[in-house]
Amino acid sequence: MSRQIRERINLGLATASLLSAATWLVAFGCSDSGAPRGSLVRSGGCDPALDAACGSVGDSCSVNDDCSTGSCASGSCISLAPDCAGGDCGPSNGGSGGFDDTFLIDDLDTGGSGGSDATCVDLDVDFQRITPTVMLLIDQSGSMSTNFENGDDRWETLQKTLTNPQNSLLKKLDTSVRFGMALYTSNGGFGDDEDNPKTCPVLRNVDISLSNFSEMSDMLNDNDPQGSTPTAESVAAVAAELHAFREDGPKSIILATDGEPDTCADPDADQGTQAQKDAARAGSVAAVRAAYADGIKTHIISVGGDVGQSHLKALAVAGAGDDPNAEAYTALGTDALVAAFTSIIGSVRTCDFTLEGTVTADNAARGTVVLDGQSLTFGDPNGWEMPDDQTVRLLGQACERAQANASGISMKFPCDAIHIIPR
């Protein structure tokens, strides 16, 4: 991990891998004299022979890697050597004071007989942003070549909205959201006999990953509408892919379709009897509900006026765990399509950050969270909170800034407030 990356975390480029490299963290207790004592382990630091800016004890720093000791606390490089004046160097009882003598917060004397003279330095705490995974499931059926009322082609409008690098939301979030894409259709459902085998649904995929905007753009631009709309089977297929994807973070499907669903068994259900239409609709809702049961939300965008509003609402409600207030978006033009994708993707991006340590509820307010140089207030509707002992959550305007264009965030806790988790 480079020093520059550690100095300023770019939220627009934050990924789960940014802070995933194995690193040693530092934690301090306090000696009776008030000097920091004891070390958990170290981060490795910098090499003065290779970096003229590498700091020694007492030099200013921003992160652990600024210091040759591998430890930055309260803006200064500090020594890892524990204070063994009292003869107790933590669990090893008089150890050498080197890196083999490791201390957990619980094992350190954080008060001592010095009373108010005892102090604990603030620790720069490592963390990683929780990265969402979003699968774009896009209807490629023949009706997607139909024009909107303003004359714009549905498919071309979708292509321009998602693939223009100047204003595409997929491009903007290319490195902070894991995207996958699947175009779905069928060529008349299942095959008729052994001489006429058919696959249903037909899915053209871009694998889930960060930084795959180019691949998604190429697939959208290289394909044209054709075939029918096996929505239920397609939702089930991408939900299975998401379920098997083992990265942490919330998972979602964005289903963009322009017409009533068909099925693989009944590829003309949308043109059939009311019973056929109802069966295809029910199958789609059931697939969305099953995905939710596996922890996968589904968001609905209608890119045409051919889908019944009651069916869109049923899909949205099922995709949100039967929440009656869930919204299905209807986007009959570029602006509406951009607004729908912006709203949905904004809602699936989290403002949660996982600490490399635990903080009890009564110590949470002692932390400091700084966003783009501005200190945020704990418990404020536009500040931050800790919903559990390892998660920092930005709220209100702070969350909106982090999702939109904030470029740096840092977190500190006093040494006796956080229990660092050994790596």
Domain of 236, CATH number, reads 3.40.50.410
**Which amino acid, residue 400?**
E
Give residue 306's pLDDT. Answer: 75
Residue-number span of the structural domain to which 165 is assigned: 133-348
Q: Is the pLDDT of residue 368 over 60?
A: yes
Q: Are 219 and 206 in contact (CB under 8 A)?
A: yes
- What is residue 19's DSSP assignment? T
CA distance 395 to 380: 8
- C-alpha distance across the termini of the chain, in Å: 16
Compute the chain's Rg from CA coordinates. Answer: 27
Instruction: Give domain status of residue 267, yes or no.
Output: yes
- Minimum mean pLDDT range among 41-50, 189-198, 307-316: 41-50
- For CA atoms 353, 245, 176, 167, give the dihedral sign: negative
Instruction: Give domain status of residue 403, yes or no.
Output: no
Pure H helices in 87-230: 154-163, 169-172, 213-221
Residue 201 to residues 107, 153, 222, 237, 284, Cα–Cα distance (Å): 59, 24, 19, 9, 13
What does the longest C-alpha to C-alpha distance in the chain come to? 88
Instruction: Give domain status of residue 141, yes or no.
Output: yes
Provide the 3-class DSSP secondary structure of residue 235. Answer: helix
Give residue 62's pLDDT. Answer: 75
* Number of domains the chain is built from: 1
- Minimum mean pLDDT range among 5-19, 117-131, 207-221: 5-19
The overall average pLDDT reported for the chain is 77
Instruction: Give domain status of residue 218, yes or no.
Output: yes
**What are the b/e assignments for 217-254, b being 16+ CB within 10 Å?**
bebbeeeebebbbbbbbbbbbbbebbeebeeebbbbbb
Joined tokens for residue 287: 């697939």
Q: Is the pLDDT of residue 260 over 80?
A: yes
CA distance 108 to 125: 18
Quickly state the pLDDT bin for 116 (edges 50, 70, 90): very low
- What is residue 200's DSSP assignment? S
Q: Which of 170, 203, 173 is nearest to 186 (CA)?
A: 203
Whether the upstream peptide bond of residue 422 has omega within 30° of 0, thus cis, is: no
Contacts of 345 (CB under 8 A, 6+ apart): 134, 169, 173, 177, 254
Give residue 407's pLDDT. Answer: 66
Instruction: Give domain status of residue 79, yes or no.
Output: no
Instruction: Give domain status of residue 282, yes or no.
Output: yes
- What is residue 74's DSSP assignment? T
Instruction: Give domain status of residue 236, yes or no.
Output: yes
Q: Which long-range contacts (CB under 8 A, 24 or more apart) does 95-100 make?
A: 99/39, 99/41, 99/42
Q: Which of 146, 135, 149, 134 is nearest to 336 (CA)?
A: 149
User: What whole-number percentage of the chain has pLDDT above 70?
Assistant: 75
CA distance 250 to 396: 19
Q: Are 287 and 240 in contact (CB under 8 A)?
A: no
Instruction: Give domain status of residue 336, yes or no.
Output: yes
CA distance 211 to 256: 22
**Tens digit of pLDDT for each residue in 9-39?**
233 323 222 222 222 233 333 333 333 333 3
Q: What is the mean pLDDT of residues 95-108?
A: 29
